Amino acid sequence: MRLSGWIFMLVSWTVILGLFGYCMARTLGFGRGPSGPQEPSDDEGP
Amino acid sequence: MARERWSSKLGVILAVAGSAVGLGNFLRFPIQAARNGGGAFMIPYFISFLLLGVPLMWIEWTIGRFGGGFEHSTAPGIFQTLWRKSRFIKYFGVIGIFGPLVIFVFYTYVESWLLGYSVFAVTGKYAGCTDSQSMLEFLRGYKGLEVNEHFSNLSAGYLFFLATFAVNVGVIAFGLSRGIERFCKWALPLLLIMAVVLVIRVLTLGTPDPAHPDWNILNGLGYLWNPDWSALKSGKVWLAAAGQIFFTLSCGIGVILTYASYLTKRDDVALSGLTAAATNEMIEVVLGASLIIPAAFAFFGTVGVQDMAAQGWDLPFVTMPLILQNIAFGRIFGFLWFFLLFVAGVTSSISLALPAVAFLEDEFNLTRREAVAVFAVVAFILCQPVIFFVADGVLDEMDFWGGTVGLVVFGTVEAILFAWVFGMERSWSELHVGSDIRIPRFYRLIIRYVTPTFLLVILGVWLWQEWWPIILMKTVPPEQKPFVVMTRVGLLGLFAFLALMVHIVWKRRSLLPQVDEETPA
């Protein structure tokens, strides 16, 4: 495998694993974002 | 009757991810990447993920939860709640029941081959097959297409089909949280463990054949990941990347709508949708890409990998068993490979069954058991032509109409409905109700302009380049044409029947005293 292949593979894995880790951590409740849950809007129905 | 709900946030995420994770993650993605520029394919792939995949995930989760607030779990009712003035939009929603049902019918049969082969791997039934030709003969015998030393008729294949069908129906019959959610909660982690074990084994294969020192795992990974920059100039490569993202995330089928309809108004959809998408991508890019292509390259070299890509649905049943029976503990690894794909298949097929079952429950007031019984009888009957005419193009025809055309049309309709009919202001607000994350505001522009345009371009180019010759049967061998025509007539009849059911439901509803459909339940 060429150096460029290694770079693409590792960058791709890092991006995907980073996104997966972030989402799972937030889903499982490790650290809440600043926005927090929002209340439903008044315009609930169509 | 109280509406069913998911029992946990992780449960619904795993169920949606399970729906998305299927054979495509382990078979379609690596082949698409290898064919379309290797590492360079990841550039259009990631761009498509951000501009098409993630927005469609959010769209489906949001409108599914919104429609669920009005006690609708399937697309006809959900589309109607988004666009009340339209008399016809509910008929577009029929695609969201038709597509999953058609895919379920042929997918369950392919899934049963995986169950059969996982048993054959352990018992060593295909151990005598030492080349592609004999492995193909084994598969043809299993499908009942020829009598050979391995199989004298279809009975073994049919028994595995019955077992697979029973597993699917059984999981659905147990309901949402006790059936689907509980199943996915152990199936996804199990799938991950099996995939990791197989990846470790494949990545430690080294150079299996000393006579061919170039045929090794590193060069196999290079075959997949070395970038071919010229590929980025090809529109076909960009379309292939967009198509892969579209299909891998299960967008446009209608199952995410149904799953999300069982959320409550205050449940998050923004983070959940993103997490389900990220889980699918992790399994596809990190694990799926590290299995069949590197392994096939290490054993058969470049020519072998190119031949392999032409095998279609037969791919996992020919190449991987040949590879795995050449390594230590091959029977165990063979079992892991087939059972991994079987579990991935079941988590997808149970989601495909749900829209039809939910439609019967919601719109005809059947109990879950009654709805599952009706679905099982109909789906079982529809499976028979696929089983007995598998060599006559029936399966591929159903895959094309249910699994390709239906998806892209449905995805395009829902993206336009969300951004332009329901309105971006209301859609954005609805997406953020109960949200655990704040989505960057530039996604408003992406969802409004880029995603629908992207989908319309895909629809147009595919119609022009690929669909037209297929629709005109230019690629169908003459002996298969009668079967293909009959399949089309059957599918048209099924669609018309479902549309008639929707018509009857709404007609009946209009005769009842008007209930308040202006605010969610």
pLDDT of residue B247: 81
Chain A residues touching residue B38 (CB < 8 angstroms): 5, 8
Element (H, E) at B75: helix B75-82
Chain A residues touching residue B436 (CB < 8 angstroms): 26-27, 32-33, 37
CB contact under 8 A, A16 and B278: yes
Top pLDDT among B519 and B304 is at B304
Q: What is the distance between the alpha carbons of residues B396 and B69, in angstroms, rounded to a whole number? A: 37
The answer to whether B492 faces chain A, any CB pair under 8 Å, is no
The answer to whether B82 faces chain A, any CB pair under 8 Å, is yes
CB contact under 8 A, A19 and B226: no
Contact yes or no for B93/B146 (Cβ under 8 A):
no
**Is residue A39 scored above 50 in pLDDT?**
no
Q: What is the mean pLDDT of residues A7-34?
A: 85
Instruction: Report the range out of B246-250, B319-323, B339-343 with the highest average pLDDT.
Output: B339-343
CA proximity to B355, closest of B499, B257, B284, B438: B257
Q: What is the distance between the alpha carbons of residues B274 and A16, in angstroms, rounded to a whole number? A: 12
> Please, what is the average pLDDT of chain B?
89
The answer to whether B222 faces chain A, any CB pair under 8 Å, is yes
The answer to whether B86 faces chain A, any CB pair under 8 Å, is no
pLDDT of residue A37: 44
Top pLDDT among B263 and B518 is at B263
Contact yes or no for B30/B286 (Cβ under 8 A):
no
Band (pLDDT 50/70/90 cuts) for residue B420 is very high
CB contact under 8 A, A26 and B266: no
Band (pLDDT 50/70/90 cuts) for residue B373 is very high
Q: What is the distance between the alpha carbons of residues B18 and A41, in angstroms, rounded to a whole number? A: 31
Percent of chain B, pLDDT > 70?
97
pLDDT of residue B309: 67
Band (pLDDT 50/70/90 cuts) for residue B358 is very high
Q: What is the mean pLDDT of residues B11-20?
A: 91
Q: What is the mean pLDDT of residues B78-107?
A: 93
CB neighbour class for B426 (10 Å; exposed up to 12, middle 13-18, buried from 19): middle
Looking at the partner chain, which of B42, B422, B436 has a beta carbon nearest the beta carbon of A8? Answer: B42
Q: What is the dihedral of CA B199, B200, B206, B207, to 10 degrees?
A: -40
Q: What is the pTM of this model?
A: 0.90
- Cα B395 to chain center, whole Å? 15
For residue B93, the distance in angstroms to the closest alpha carbon of chain A comes to 18
pLDDT of residue B459: 82
Q: What is the mean pLDDT of residues B63-87?
A: 93
CB contact under 8 A, A37 and B519: no
Q: What is the distance between the alpha carbons of residues B91 and B515, in angstroms, rounded to a whole number? A: 22
Contact yes or no for B31/B293 (Cβ under 8 A):
yes
Query: Most A CBs within 10 Å: which of B266, B436, B515, as the mutation test of the A interface?
Result: B436
The answer to whether B514 faces chain A, any CB pair under 8 Å, is no
CA proximity to B96, closest of B290, B362, B318, B286: B362
Band (pLDDT 50/70/90 cuts) for residue B142 is very high
Chain B residues touching residue A46 (CB < 8 angstroms): 81-82, 84, 422, 426, 518
CB contact under 8 A, B39 and A5: yes
Q: What is the distance between the alpha carbons of residues B503 and B506, in angstroms, rounded to a whole number? A: 5
pLDDT of residue B78: 95
Q: What is the mean pLDDT of residues B170-195?
A: 93
- What ipTM was reported for this prediction? 0.86
For residue B284, the distance in angstroms to the closest alpha carbon of chain A comes to 10
Chain A residues touching residue B39 (CB < 8 angstroms): 4-5, 7-9, 12
Please state whether A6 falls in left (phi above 0), alpha (psi between -120 and 50) or beta.
alpha
CB contact under 8 A, B282 and A26: no
pLDDT of residue B9: 87
CB contact under 8 A, B219 and A15: no
CB neighbour class for B125 (10 Å; exposed up to 12, middle 13-18, buried from 19): middle
| E strands present in B112-177 | none
Q: What is the mean pLDDT of residues B52-64?
A: 95
pLDDT of residue A35: 44
pLDDT of residue B292: 86
CA proximity to B299, closest of B135, B177, B163: B135
**Whole-Å CA distances, B384 to B102, B345, B373, B389, B458:** 13, 19, 17, 8, 33
First and final C-alpha spacing in chain A: 56
pLDDT of residue B521: 56
Looking at the partner chain, which of B222, B274, B278 has a beta carbon nearest the beta carbon of A5? Answer: B222
Chain A residues touching residue B268 (CB < 8 angstroms): 37
Instruction: List, for residues B223-277, the tens digit of each pLDDT value.
Output: 888 888 888 887 778 888 888 888 889 888 899 999 999 999 889 999 999 999 9
Query: Most B CBs within 10 Å: which of A6, A9, A11, A15, as the mutation test of the B interface?
Result: A9
Chain A residues touching residue B437 (CB < 8 angstroms): 26, 33, 35
Q: What is the mean pLDDT of residues B402-419?
A: 88
Instruction: List, for residues B424-469, the tens digit of each pLDDT value.
Output: 999 999 999 999 899 999 999 999 999 999 889 888 887 787 777 8
**Is residue B115 scored above 80 in pLDDT?**
yes
Q: What is the mean pLDDT of residues B122-132?
A: 88
- Structure-token match 């070395």, residue found: B226
pLDDT of residue B302: 82
Contact yes or no for B176/B4 (Cβ under 8 A):
yes
Q: Which amino acid is at B153?
A: N
